[in-house]
Every structure is written in structure tokens, then in C-alpha cells.
Structure 1
Amino acid sequence: MATSLLDTIRVLASFDPPRGSLRGAPWEEYVDWAIAQGLAPLASYNLQYRMPGADAPEWVRDQLLSIYSGSVNDNVMKLVNFKRCVDELEGRKLLLIGAAAFADTLYPHVAFRPVLEIQMLLRRMDVDGFAGYLAQHEFRPEPEAPAHGAVKVLSDGRTAIHLYADVLGTAGRAEVQGIFERAKPMKMYGPSLFRPDLEDAVLLVCLEQAREGYQVPWLSFVDLRELMTGAKAMGGVYSRPVDVAVLLERAKAWKLERALYTSLSIVAGLFPETAEALKPALPPLRRATRELLERLVVQPASVPGKMSHVRGSERLRRLLTGQ
């Protein structure tokens, strides 16, 4: 029986893929989609080294391998250049979030997690000062208005740095302060760089997914899968079980219970081996709310391909993020 697109995705997005043949997989559909979703580097490594060939056509291996090589070079260039900029910065507490915080803690190789831009969470009072500091390293504000919730976006022509503040709105500033207080040092980037604690990292991913209406690269769901299952392939700050009670308590305080439910439901559907482990972390929503989220978000977001905006998507976004 031919391998489905979803089965192909599951196998090639695994850190421990089963050995076997993928003959008959829908490669024409998969390759371009995987590249767009950020999944190509991991898929390439699996085909080359974990399940050699897997009966994949030579053109598939070659195209994915070119993306893998590009991801290695691009990530190293961006992260090394960023380190040079911030390594000597002292007296601040700045948080790396998203890809740059996950590439070395969730993924066995930095190439597996493309870093398209560097995302940072700052206290509101530090935004202008840090932007000025970056200007000394040739980073300039992007001419277009910041998108995706960032308050500033700066670039040196090679790397974009997105600066975020007040991610939970003005009413959530106390909760954001807690994120900073719990943050863990990132010594490799100098004394001023930190990353969120595990439960905070989970909720920040859910927040980003919800704000984007779940029209995010599927790599984001791999991030969440690894955060929620304790980053077993690694041995770092996120390699521990999630404290479910703490996670649920913070989700309630952040008004992200619906977003947490939705994000975890999508991950459980995409990667069925995680379903039992994720079940205790699902917030106890009303049945009508669960059914609405399943129908309007979870099911559409779990189908390979672009998720179209649902009717009333802005209202749904506010429902998911409590804002």
C-alpha cells in the first residue's frame, strides 16, 4: 500500500525514524511542502543516515541534502554573528525565544532547526536601548512596520532580529516579569542572554501559534513535541519532564488555556505516539469550547498544506489568546 503524505511526514520528522521503505511515498508533493515547512533538513538527515535511502528517488535525496547543507551554513553564520554582537553585553537580562533558543536544546544537530530570524523577548524599557546597541553592529530598523507581534525588527542585511515586549498585553506584565525571573542563562552568548524556563517556553510557543491563527510552519509543532516530551534526544535545560500542574496554572494566569488545548491537540494528532503523554496537560475546557476548537482549528491545522483563514479568524484569535 502506498505511503500517505502524513505518514511520510511523521517518519521523516522523527528523531528515531523506523527503518523501512518509503517506496511509493508522494515525493512530488512532499519535497516542496517539507522545504516550506522547515522540515527538509531533518528529513534529509534521516534519509541519508538513519534510514539510508529508504527507497527514496535520487532527486529527492539530492534536493533535501542541498537544503540541509544550506541550513548548516545559514544557522552557523547567523548564530556566530549574533554571538559576536552580544557576547560582551553586560548588565541586562534579554531572552532568546523561538528557533535560536531551540536549535541547540531540542534538536540533535543545529542544522535540523532552521533559524530564519532571531526572536528576543525584552522588558519594554530595554527595547530602545538594545536597538541602539545593535545599531553599533550595523543592525538597522526594517523599513516596513513590524509584523507578528514584534515591536521592532532590525537587520544587518543577513539576519533579522525581532524584538518583543509585553507579549501578554499591559494586563499581563506581572506574568511576563515572572518569565524573566525564571529564565535560564545562555552562557554561550555572554552574561546578558537567557532563555525561558521549560513551562514558559511551551506557553510562548502556543501563544505564537495562536496569534498566527495556527498558520505556522509545521516545524513549530515539532518544537512543541520536543518541549512537551522532555527533549529526550538531548541533555540540556529542556531535557526534563514538564511540570503539568505548573503549566496549567500558568496557562490559566496567562489566559492561554484555549491556545494550550489547541496546540497540544494538534501535536497529539500529528504525532500519535505523544497523545497519552500530552493528555494530562490538556486544560479542562467546556465540551462546547473543545468541540469548537477541534472543528475550527485543530482539524484544519492538522491537514498537510496551507490552512485557510476561517471565517471570523480575528475573533477566534482573541478567543485563543484571551486578548
Structure 2
Amino acid sequence: MAISLIDTFRVLASFDPPRGSLRGAPWEAYVDWAIAQGLAPLASYNLEYRLAGGADAPEWARDRLLSIYSGSVNDNVMKLVNFKRCVDELEGRQLLIMGGAAFADTLYPHVGFRPVLEISMLLRRMDVDAFAGYLAQHQFRPEPDEPAHGAVKVVSDGRTPIFLYADVLGAERRTEVQGIFERAKPMKMYGPSIFRPDLEDAVLLVCLEQAREGYQMPWLSYLDLRELMTGATSMGSVYSRPVNVAVLLERAKAWRLERALYTSLSILARLFPSMAESLKPALPPLRRATRELLERLVVIPASEPGKMSHVRGSERLRRLLTGQ
């Protein structure tokens, strides 16, 4: 029996994959796509250790995914240990780690499941230059190209790019950004100056990133969002608690991210139908016309593997989603 690409994704992206054969899965399409989406390490672990007989996957597919898994483990350890050495003794600051580096040890049962390609950090604007200078003492130099993804600066040691962000909600909402710092939780493993966003803030920051990328980013981001919205039940971490939906909705309104939250959660519900009902209370109450527009232009195409592409007026849509 033929198995679709999306069904293959759902099985191999699970922390508790259902038993069964994937013999009829579209392996030729899935392997390259999963590698590009950052999904290969978790998929490989499931095939090698969770699913009997590798779920009948072809040997070449298992070998290729396994090589990515092994590389992800080593690469993550190298990057995060090196970063720890750089910042462990830094005192008197409050610097927030966002994204993969904040999630690998809190949302995923193994740090190798969540590839960390870069380290994203949220700083107060007055700390950006000072921290960039501090990192320069550890061989991190400014990247020659214009900073991408909304970052103020990007520095790299040739192996690990570090994206430095400030005023992520826009200069007019600095009070809301200050709230992110006030609610942040310490990351003691990285020393006294390193923190990570609280749960509801982390959810909205993921939605903000997805919206700014026009929902054309690796699907690994949806696994991050899935685990945040389910309270990281596989872990016992700072994110292992139910999302406070009332707080999430209130904050989304204050941040002007209601459209982005609606879009991201709607995509998540399509990718993982078992979550759809539990996500409904967290969907902001948008106007019907707005919902239909977002569904047609973003939610439906972004929920199909390889189907999302920039639509006409996508820059205007991005501004609409991010409240800018």
C-alpha cells in the first residue's frame, strides 16, 4: 500500500512512532526532503531504534539518514560546548538564547534530534555591540554580508554563526520586549548571563520567525512549535507545563502577532491532525475574511511538503502577519 510523503513525515517526526511497515513510503522523495527540513536525525533514530526492522525502509535510505544523525550529534555538541566556553564566565548581563539552541535540550529527548545550525540571541540594543566585541575575543568575527532574518549583527568563528537580535517586535514595542527579558528563565549551564524565553514568549517568537520567513523555513520549526504547544511532555524541562492560553492570546494581541499565531497554529493542526482540537482555544479570533485569506495564501500551501512558494504581494503579507 502506497504511503504519502506527509504520512511518512508524521510517523518519523513522532517521539513515539506508531508500529508498522513503511515499505510503500516514497523514500526517494522523503530522504532528500527530510535532510533539507532538518528532520533526518529524528527520522533515523526512529528507524534504527524505535521501529522494528527499520519499518522495512530500504537500506540505502537508512544509511543516509543515519550518517546525518551521527553528524548532527557531533556538530551540536561541538557548537554548544564551544559556545559555553565563550560565555560561561560572562557576568552582569542578561542575554537570551532563542530557537534551536534553546530547544535542543528542553524539547527533544536527545540533543542530536534537533540540529542547531546557528545560535540566535535576543539582546537589549545597548548590549549588541558590547557582546559582539566580547565574542571577537573568542574568534567570532562579523559576517561580511548584510545581516539576514532581521538580525542586527551576525558573527561567526567559521563554524557557528551567531545571530544577534534587538527590538524584535519593532522599536515602538520595546516595553513588550522588556517583558520578555523580565520573564526569561536562567540557562545555568551557560553561566550567569545566559537566559531563555518563558514558554508563552517562546511560542510567539517561533511564530514571529515563521511569519518573517514567509513560512518558507525548515519544517523542524513546526516540531519546535508542536512540543512547545504540548508542554514538552517527553521532557522534564522549563517548557514542560501546559501553555497558558489566556496569557498567550493576550500577549499575541499586545505584540500584534495574532495573525502569525493563527497561521502557525493552523499549519500545525494540518500537519498533526491529532492536535487540531486541542489547538482551537489558542487560535486568535480573527475576522472571517482574514482567516480565509490566510488559509488560502499561507496555511494550505505551507502544509504540503514542497508546495510553499512566495505568493504575489508576499512582502505585504509578511508585514501583515508580523504587525509591521
Using the size of structure 1 for normalisation, the TM-score is 0.99
Q: Report Cα offsets for 1:126-181 as digits up to 9, x if no partner.
A: 00000000000000000111000000000011111000000001111000000000
**1:43 is paired with a residue of what secondary structure?**
helix
Question: 2:26 is aligned with what amino acid?
Answer: P
Q: Report Cα offsets for 1:167-218 as digits up to 9, x if no partner.
A: 0011110000000000000000000000000000000000000000000100
Question: 2:282 is aligned with what amino acid?
Answer: A
**2:320 is paired with a residue of what secondary structure?**
helix
Aligned residues: 323
Output the CA distance in 1 between the equivalents of 2:154 and 2:201.
23
The reply to whether residue 32 of structure 1 matches residue 39 of structure 2 is no
Match of 1:138 in 2: 139
Structure 1 spans left out of the alignment, 5+ residues: none
Match of 1:22 in 2: 22
Q: Does the 8 A contact of 1:99 with 1:118 survive in 2?
A: yes
Q: What is the correspondence of 1:36-75 to structure 2 with a 5 Å cutoff?
A: 36-52=36-52, 53-75=54-76
**1:9 is paired with a residue of what secondary structure?**
helix
**2:55 is paired with a residue of what secondary structure?**
coil
The Cα shift of 1:277 comes to 1.2
The Cα shift of 1:285 comes to 0.4
Q: Which moved more, 1:178-187 or 1:1-10?
A: 1-10
Match of 1:278 in 2: 279
The Cα shift of 1:244 comes to 0.1
Match of 2:217 in 1: 216
Match of 1:101 in 2: 102
Match of 2:197 in 1: 196
**2:163 is paired with a residue of what secondary structure?**
strand
Q: Report Cα offsets for 1:48-75 as digits up to 9, x if no partner.
A: 0010310000001100000000000000
Q: Report Cα offsets for 1:105-133 as digits up to 9, x if no partner.
A: 00000000000000000000000000000
The Cα shift of 1:306 comes to 5.0
Output the CA distance in 2 between the equivalents of 1:118 and 1:31.
26
Match of 1:85 in 2: 86
Output the CA distance in 1 between the equivalents of 2:144 and 2:171.
26
Give percent identity, aligned residues only.
87
Output the CA distance in 1 between the equivalents of 2:278 and 2:46.
24
RMSD of aligned Cα (Å): 0.5
Question: 2:170 is aligned with what amino acid?
Answer: G
Q: What is the correspondence of 1:139-288 to structure 2 with a 5 Å cutoff?
A: 139-288=140-289
Output the CA distance in 1 between the equivalents of 2:315 and 2:306.
21
Match of 1:317 in 2: 318
The Cα shift of 1:255 comes to 0.2
Question: 1:7 is aligned with what amino acid?
Answer: D
Output the CA distance in 2 between the equivalents of 1:38 and 1:130.
29
Using the size of structure 2 for normalisation, the TM-score is 0.99
The reply to whether residue 111 of structure 1 matches residue 107 of structure 2 is no
Structure 2 spans left out of the alignment, 5+ residues: none
Output the CA distance in 1 between the equivalents of 2:276 and 2:232.
16
Q: Does the 8 A contact of 2:301 with 2:307 survive in 1?
A: no
**Runs of 4+ residues over 2 Å off in structure 1:** none
Output the CA distance in 1 between the equivalents of 2:110 and 2:224.
14
Output the CA distance in 2 between the equivalents of 1:306 and 1:174.
38
Output the CA distance in 2 between the equivalents of 1:106 and 1:273.
19
Question: 1:143 is aligned with what amino acid?
Answer: P
Q: Does the 8 A contact of 1:118 with 1:159 survive in 2?
A: yes
The Cα shift of 1:273 comes to 1.1
Q: Report Cα offsets for 1:76-105 as digits up to 9, x if no partner.
A: 000000000000000000000000000000
Q: Does the 8 A contact of 1:258 with 1:283 survive in 2?
A: yes
Output the CA distance in 2 between the equivalents of 1:97 and 1:252.
21
The reply to whether residue 4 of structure 1 matches residue 4 of structure 2 is yes
Output the CA distance in 2 between the equivalents of 1:108 and 1:279.
27
**1:54 is paired with a residue of what secondary structure?**
helix
Q: Does the 8 A contact of 1:215 with 1:306 survive in 2?
A: no
